[in-house]
Amino acid sequence: MKSDGIHSMVALQDMTTGARKMRNFYAIKPDSGIYQQEFGYYSLERWKSEGHIKQNITQSELAQLFGFDPPGKHFIGGLGWCEGGFCPLFEEKVLEERDDEYEVVQDFAGRSVLCFKNRRQGFMPEYIDHPVKDSKTWEEKCKWRLDPKTPERYTNLEERMNQAKKAAGEGQIICQQVVGGYMYLRSLMGPLELMYLLYDDPDLIHDCMKTWFELADAVIAKHQEYITLDEIFFGEDICYNHGSLISKDMIREMLFPYYQQLLTNAKRRQIDKNRKIFFQLDTDGFSDDVIDLYQEIGMDYLSPFEVASGCDVVRTGKERPNLLISGGFDKRILAQSKEAIDREIARIMPEMKRRGGYIPTCDHGVPEEVSFENYMHYRKRMLEFAE
């Protein structure tokens, strides 16, 4: 049996450093070196303008500056993330001019978005309209864009799979990303309109989810002809600061049958029949409310534990010793003092390192209010737990 990460697992001693640390994380190995990474940044432009980092800094240079580990996880896309996996995408175009400062644009997912003129990134978008109102608009505008047989979906398949094979040979976690059902429906209909349609037109919701499943199942099956998966990762965002945005009964009825079938089919198709597929869920808000619920269908891993909504990785780590956890460092504290940063590190890191199965990151992107000096202090302290 070939130990190539596809037909069988690469031996731990033959893995790259980043892959070995990542595998120890998935094994919830106590007291192992903690994998070093970050959720993301809203602060880079400030740091560039202040001269702390150069304008054209690369991701590898950032990783070296901040002491991040070499890659331990390889992501496979093709199935959306915050929106459905449309192919073709909607045409991006200006729909309306609003005075000298604002314009309404149609984005790649068919939504009408209020933007600053000549600036469509770097701020929280204001969505004015969404493409799906009923079965007619669903069929006309969106459903056909989610056809798994569209040839253009697979134009660079061989190149992407060769990259995945290389990563698998290093022992990296091979992770298939998928837009979660709630996030997908919300992007089609809008957060408020979805709430009504769940009750008023359940047939439409089921048709949307059936289409979601058929696309995800077909694309993942194609990928599994080449590689063995280690994880399926849903971008869900199904919580707000008091818990789930829709009822647990509604989640079980409208989402879980499609999730269970997708996970079952993916497990059945594995090239390496002995390989576990981990199931990760990403949601902002107070996620404690849905842990038991999603564990009903096998969730292993939850992120990013938004502190402002009441999440606490130390509490959850004690309550759920078998749950993989990432995130959970309060991004607001990074904008305070070094002493405040030190106190939070002392509260979280020794406990979670002893436990294992934890990757610390901010609970969302590093805000622009965070000074470069504070962030570098944070990174230096985090590296104390890297070995």
pLDDT digits over 162-184, tens only? 999 999 999 999 999 999 999 99
pLDDT at site 98: 85
pLDDT at site 125: 78
| pLDDT tens-digit series, residues 8-33 | 999 999 999 999 999 999 999 999 99
Task: Kindly tell me if the per-residue pLDDT of 115 is higher than 90.
Answer: no
Task: Kindly tell me if the per-residue pLDDT of 250 is higher than 70.
Answer: yes
Task: Kindly tell me if the per-residue pLDDT of 296 is higher than 90.
Answer: yes
pLDDT at site 204: 98
pLDDT at site 1: 55
Confidence of residue 116 (pLDDT cuts 50, 70, 90): confident
Instruction: Average the pLDDT over 253-260 and give the result.
Output: 97
Task: Kindly tell me if the per-residue pLDDT of 5 is higher than 80.
Answer: yes
| pLDDT tens-digit series, residues 309-334 | 999 999 999 999 999 999 999 999 99
Task: Kindly tell me if the per-residue pLDDT of 122 is higher than 70.
Answer: no
pLDDT at site 100: 78
pLDDT at site 375: 97
3-state secondary structure the chain: CCCCCCCCCCCHHHCCHHHHHHHHHHCCCCCCCCCCCCCCECCHHHHHHCCCCCCCCCHHHHHHHHCCCCCCEEEECCCCCCCCCCCCCCCCEEEEEECCCEEEEECCCCCEEEEECCECCCCCCEEEECCCCCHHHHHHHHHHHHCCCCHHHHCCHHHHHHHHHHHHHCCCEEEEEEECHHHHHHHHHCHHHHHHHHHHCHHHHHHHHHHHHHHHHHHHHHHHCCCCCCEEEEECCCEECCEECCCHHHHHHHCHHHHHHHHHHHHHCCCCCCCCCEEEEECCCCCHHHHHHHHCCCCCEEECCCHHHCCCHHHHHHHCCCCEEECCECCCHHHCCHHHHHHHHHHHHHHHHHHCCEECCECCCECCCCCHHHHHHHHHHHHHHCC
